Each structure stands twice: as C-alpha cells, then as structure tokens.
Amino acid sequence: MKTTGAKAILQSLLHEDVELLFGYPGGAIMPLYDALHDAKSLRHILVRHEQGAAHAAEGYARASGKVGVCVVTSGPGATNVVTGLANAMLDSIPLVCITGQVFSEFLGTDAFQEADIIGITLPVTKWNYQITSAAEIPAVMAKAFYIAQAGRPGPVLIDITKDAQLGELNFVYQRYQPKQLLPYQHALDAQQLMSAATLINQSKKPYLLIGHGVLIAKAEHELLQFAEKTRIPVACTLLGLSAFPTDHPLYVGMLGMHGNYGANLLTNEADLLIAIGMRFDDRVTGHLGSYAKQAKVIHIDIDAAEINKNVHAEVALLTDAKVALQTLLEHVQPQQHEHWLNEFKTCYKKEYKEIVAHAVSPTKGAVTMAEVIHQLSQKTDGQGILVTDVGQHQMVAARYYQFKRYNSHITSGGLGTMGFALPAAIGATLAAMDREVIAIIGDGGFQMNIQELGVVAQENLPVKIIILNNGYLGMVRQWQELFFEERYSFTELKNPDFVKVAEGYAIPAQRVTERSDLSHALDDLLTADGPYLLEVVVKQQENVFPMIPAGAGVGDIRLS
C-alpha cells in the first residue's frame, strides 16, 4: 500500500495497538500532525509543554502497563522531553518518543530548530535512531516498540526528518522478531534455583525486599503466594509500593531514607535478603560499607547489569519476577518466623509512639501533611491511584497512604523529578478512567508544570489535585535545618493564589487552613464529578522522620 511517511508512522502505531498519544506540534513534525487530523482511531492529547508530554506518557504507561507515546517537534521541542526520558530510563518505564527533525539535507548545518537529539539522548534511552528515508519507518517503529518493552522496560526515541515524513513508501508492517534470545529468556539456571530454595528453607531471619520489577512483571499474586507460604516479612522500595498490600500482616513497611524504622534497621539483622526487581539504590542501602554485611543475598532481576553492581549476590536469578516466584514456590517449604516478625512489630510500636501517632492525629497547631494523607487513605479505603511529585509530601504520601490495591502508586523515583505529578496524573487518569486518580503535589513542584492545568480543563479530566502548601521547598529546607545549621538559602516561596489559578482554568478549587475544615474539603474533592483542586495549608517547618542521614547506614536511622 503506497502511503506517506507521516501516515506510515500512524499506521505503525495502530499496528502496535496504540490508542493514545501526547504531544505538541511544530514545524519539523507538521506532516505527522497533518496526518493526525484524519486519524480517527488515535486520540491525541495536546499538552502545554513538551516535558508534560513525556511525563503524561509515563503516567499512562505506569497505570496501563502499555507503552506510552509522545510526539514533539525538533530543537527545543525535542530537548524539552529529555528530562522525561531520563526519568523513564531510571524508573524502567516503556516509552516511545517521536521527534521531528529538519530536512536531511540540512542536518549538521545548524539549521533553524535543529538539535542533535540522537547524541543528546544517547545516555537516557534504551535505543535511539534517526530516520532519513520513509522506507525505514515500519521496521524502525516495530523495533522501537519491541525494545521499549523487552526485558527491563525503558524509553526509546525515534527522530524522523521532515522529508522522511513527506516521502512515500510501500507500507508493510511486521512485528519485530529478535535474531537471538536475550539472557533472561533462557531457562532458569537449575543450580542457582536450587541454591536459592535451600537458602530460603534454611534461613532463620529471611527478608523480602520488593521493587518496581514485581509490578512491571505483574507478579503481585505470585509474591503474595510466596510470602504467605514462607511467612517471610515483606518490605517495599518507593517504586515497589502497592506490589504488596500494606494492611497484610507480613508487610513491615517501606525501605529507604524516609522509610519505616524497623524496615530499615532490621536489614542489618537479617541473615538472608531476597531482593526481587529492585536495584539496591543508594536511597535504600545508605552507606554500602555497612549495609547488611551479615546477610546472604538472593537477587532476582531481569537486568544482568544490576547483579553485583552495588551489593554482592550469593545467588542470582536472571529472569522475570513472575517466572522466578512461580518456580521458587514449588521448592520452598512452609515456615513461620514468628519471632522474627515480632521484631518488626516491636520496632513499629516504637515508631508509632514517637512519630506516627502525633503526625496523623495532632491535637493542636497547623494541619500536618501526614493527617491529610491519613484521612485521604481512610476516605478512599486505600483504593485510589496516588500520583506524587517529589519532596516531603512524596515521602509522607508513601508512608501514610495504605495501598490496598495493586499498581496504585506512581511517582518519580530514580531521577526525583519535580513537576512530574500533574502531567503524570493526566496520563494515569486516561489509562484508568474507572479509578480515582489523586495527585499529591507540593507548592514548589506544582509550579514547575502548572500549565498542564490547561490539559485537565480542555479534556475535562476527573483529576483530583491536592497541594500540600508549606511555603517552602520543604525537603531542601529540612536538610538545611538538620545539616546546614538552619541556613535557609533560597528555599522560602512566595506563591500565587492557587485557588484563583485553578479557577482561571474553570477548575473548581478551595483552600483549607483549619483542621476542622479538612474532612469536609476532602469529601468535596472526592465527590466532584470532574477535576478538582484542593490546597491545604500545612505546617511550615515540619520535618519527615524517620530519616537516614546522607552518607549514613540503615542502622543509623533517626526517629528525630
């Protein structure tokens, strides 16, 4: 079938079952946008900034399990998506980003809106490629979608010159078939498998560390079966949250710098760590020199590059988390570990008395972030999808929302990208219209992509937005207080009237300053038919504890 390159791109998307794309038009991508005008089977969401397109595609991918797609023009349009690509790379999110490029004859001439986006994005993509001929489009698009999803997911960028979009080709599409199997596609190493089972069966203080890979593999059911059979305590990384129900008796909390007291402290008491789909990030391990030196490690990961990168593994299973858990289930023996589990309960009682009780149920003073999240969790019964930005509110939301439904927590983990939540919540809402999507955002991060309120308004999306406004860049201010002698250097914010900003977009909004108004305001938010913004003015100089100071080990976790 004879067609143009622009139409071939759209046909390729349809062959990959794409229904939705996020983008922003411009000169070098205009032929594709012209073809989109008549493409009734594809829904396009016009963002207000290209970074918003990347984050919205990430939110869509995280909530749907599909590949997120964004489309932008050359030059500044392409460079504006780089942060989103870096974010997706670190958090293993499958994206295909299509960028327009100047005519091939002008490549390398510093033409108007030309940028070497292939060179720029090489470190933050799984693969990138520049198309200069229309005939290349079907095969390159097929490879792009395969690579984005294969193994450890991630972003792919396809740069397409304007003449390739305008040129003609005979369109034939075939899904990409790799010439050889990837390492994780081979059969599990039987010796390693049995070694893992033996270690688990013999361990007295085993500990399950759960990362994002369990959610990517859709292995939540297998994890639950495995944990309940072995009675091993379960902790989640920030990105692993909602892979295991937080109200389950085997759940012992969140790992990491602002995670739970026992979940971190007792890492250095375990005799066996079973790490599944997590990469031993520095925010989880703290100082590596003092991290779990007494424990043997079983590391299950689909990416060979993660094995022994930070922590030595006694046994490594290079495979998908679902496959590993299904296979191990047949070889592990039922256990109890009641004494070991009680150690976590003892730690939590201490944490609850010293931190949690006062945070979620204060009797005086300003509203706290924790009580907002605690009430939200109760009112939604832990069933909502929380999309959080980056900062103190992110840690509080992760700590105090009770995730009772799988795949319910979307945040920026590895890159820590402020401005992520609003566009990501747009993408998540479009992927899960049957669920309540709530964006939890700080006053600083909200202003980084505040313009995406225009998308919420134009599409009338039922995104619920809660701004926890403390008038500071809260996490940086906390560090300045604790580690820089209270030298508050450029962290105080003069904010706009967020309610009036929302009303300017015809989005209903209200501000809460008093504790007595909070419950009713949350009800208004949750019962609104369409979008709604709730600004809660919270305690200004509130700190998030527990905390592992930078450079310290997990055993140095502080309660105050």
| Residues annotated catalytic, as ranges | 50, 112-113, 162, 475
Amino acid at 70: C
Question: Which of 364, 404, 367 is closest to 382 using CA atoms?
Answer: 404
Residue 558 carries which DSSP code?
Answer: B
- What is the C-alpha separation between 465 and 15, in angstroms, rounded? 35
3-state secondary structure of 156: strand
- What is the C-alpha separation between 399 and 166, in angstroms, rounded? 52
* C-beta of residue 87 within 8 angstroms of C-beta of residue 415: yes
- What is the C-alpha separation between 542 and 468, in angstroms, rounded? 12
- What is the C-alpha separation between 29 and 48, in angstroms, rounded? 16
| Residues β-bridged to residue 409 | 386
* C-beta of residue 274 within 8 angstroms of C-beta of residue 200: yes
Task: Tell me the two tokens of residue 32.
Answer: 């594709």
- Percent helix, percent strand, percent coil in the chain, to nearest 5: 45, 20, 40
Sign of CA dihedral 63, 65, 66, 68: positive
- What is the C-alpha separation between 402 and 388, in angstroms, rounded? 14
553-to-301, 308, 426 alpha-carbon distances in Å: 24, 19, 37
DSSP state string for 364-422: SSSPPHHHHHHHHHHHHTT-SEEEE-SSHHHHHHHHHS---SSS-EEE--SS--TT-HH
Contacts of 171 (CB under 8 A, 6+ apart): 1, 2, 3, 7, 8, 11, 138
Task: Tell me the two tokens of residue 110.
Answer: 């510093």
Q: Could you tell me whether strands 127-131 and 155-161 are parallel, antiparallel, or unpaired per DSSP bridges?
A: parallel
- What is the C-alpha separation between 407 and 434, in angstroms, rounded? 14
- What is the C-alpha separation between 480 and 520, in angstroms, rounded? 35
- What is the C-alpha separation between 72 and 74, in angstroms, rounded? 7
Q: Exposure pattern of 187-214 as b/e (b: 16+ CB <10 Å)?
A: ebeeebbebbbebbeebebbbbbbbbbb
H or E element that contains 323:
helix 321-329
DSSP state string for 517-557: HHHHHHHHHHH-SS-EEEEEE--TT----SB--TT-BGGG-
